[in-house]
Amino acid sequence: MTDTVQAAVQGAVRFEGSYLGDAGRIAAATRMECKICWHVYDPAAGCEVWQIPAGTPFGLLPDHWRCPVCDGARDQFMVLDGGPAEAGKEMPAPATQGPRSLGSGLPEAKIRALEAAFREIHTAQMRGMPIVNDALAVKAVGFRPHDGRWLGALVTPWFLNLVLLPGEGDDWTDLVPGEKEMVEFPSGRYEFVHANRKTVGAYKACSLFSPMFDFGSMLQATETAAAAMVSLFDPSIREPSTREDGAGSPAAAAPAGPSSAKPSQAPAVAPPTRRTLLGLGAGRDA
C-alpha cells in the first residue's frame, strides 16, 4: 500500500457530510453515492474504469480516484448505507490490483504542464484567431488509468481531444510527432496522433471536436469531455463494421460509391465520426 493511500486512510481526504470528514469512520463495506450524478461506489465491486479491485473500501481509494461517471471529486460522495466503522477495527487491505502498476498516483505535474502549455499557446498564438471560442478556456478533464497509461480529455478554446500520457514503464522519446496509430477501446478503434512538447514530453492525442463553436459554455464543454470518457468504454455503441483491421473505424474512409455516381452527388450515408461512436451526436468532423 502506498504512502498516499495510507494518508487518505488517516483522514487526509475530506468527505462532505460524511462522518465530519473523517474517512476512518466510514466502514469498509459502506457504499458511497456521488451527490452530483448519483453514481454508487460499492467496495464489493471496486471500480473497473479506474482499475480498482473488488474489496477496496472507499477510504482506501487512491488519491487520483474520481467519480467514473461525472468526474466529481471524492469529497462529493455521501454515505448511502453500511453504517459507521467499528471502533478499533482497521480497514482491510484491497486485493492485488494486477500485473501492471501505475505507481503512486495521478501524474499531476504532467497534467498541469499540459494545461500550462496550451494556455501559453492560447495567449501567445491563438487569441483573436477566428477558430477560437472565447467562451472557453484550457482544462484537463477526467484523467484516469488505462492499460498502464493515463487517459483523459483536454478542452481548449479551439479543440477537444482525448489524450494518452505514458505510464511509468513507457519510453516514448522515439515517438515521431505527426505519426498516427489506432488505439483499441471497448467502443471502437480510434486514431491517435503522436505529439511531443518540450514542457510536457511525448503524448498521443485523438481529436473529438474542432473548432469548438458547438459549445456555449465551459461547463458544457467539460461535461461533454466527461461523457466522452465514459462512452469510450461502452461496448454497446461499437459499430458492427468496426474491425480489427481498422475498417469501419472513425479514421477509415467511407466506401466508394458506384462508378456511375455523379461527382457532385453526396454519399447517401456519411461515414461515422468519433463523436457519433462516442454517443455525442452529430456536428463538425474533428
- High-pLDDT (> 90) share of the chain, %: 33
- Give CA 205 to chain center in angstroms: 12
Burial (CB < 10 A; 0-12, 13-18, 19+), residue 262, is exposed
pLDDT for residue 151 is more than 60? yes
pLDDT in tens, 89-105: 544 554 444 333 444 46
- Give CA 3 to chain center in angstroms: 25
Burial (CB < 10 A; 0-12, 13-18, 19+), residue 182, is middle
The mean pLDDT of 10-16, rounded to a whole number, is 40
pTM, two decimals, is 0.57
- Give CA 278 to chain center in angstroms: 13
d(CA 41, CA 65): 11
Top-confidence range, 65-69, 71-75, 112-116, 160-164: 160-164
Residue 84 is predicted with a pLDDT of 53
Residue with cell string 487518505: 8
The mean pLDDT of 201-210, rounded to a whole number, is 95
Q: Of how many residues is the chain composed?
A: 286
Fold of 3-81: Rubrerythrin, domain 2 (2.20.28)
Residue 68 is predicted with a pLDDT of 79
The mean pLDDT of 25-48, rounded to a whole number, is 84
pLDDT for residue 258 is more than 50? no
d(CA 208, CA 228): 9
Residue 280 is predicted with a pLDDT of 55
Residue 48 is predicted with a pLDDT of 79
Q: What ranges do the domains of the chain cover?
A: 3-81, 108-237
| CATH class of the domain defined by 108-237 | alpha beta
196 three-state secondary structure:
strand
Cell numbers found for residue 232: 469510450
pLDDT for residue 141 is more than 80? yes
Identity of the residue numbered 72? G
If pLDDT is split at 50, 70 and 90, which confidence band does 122 have?
Answer: very high
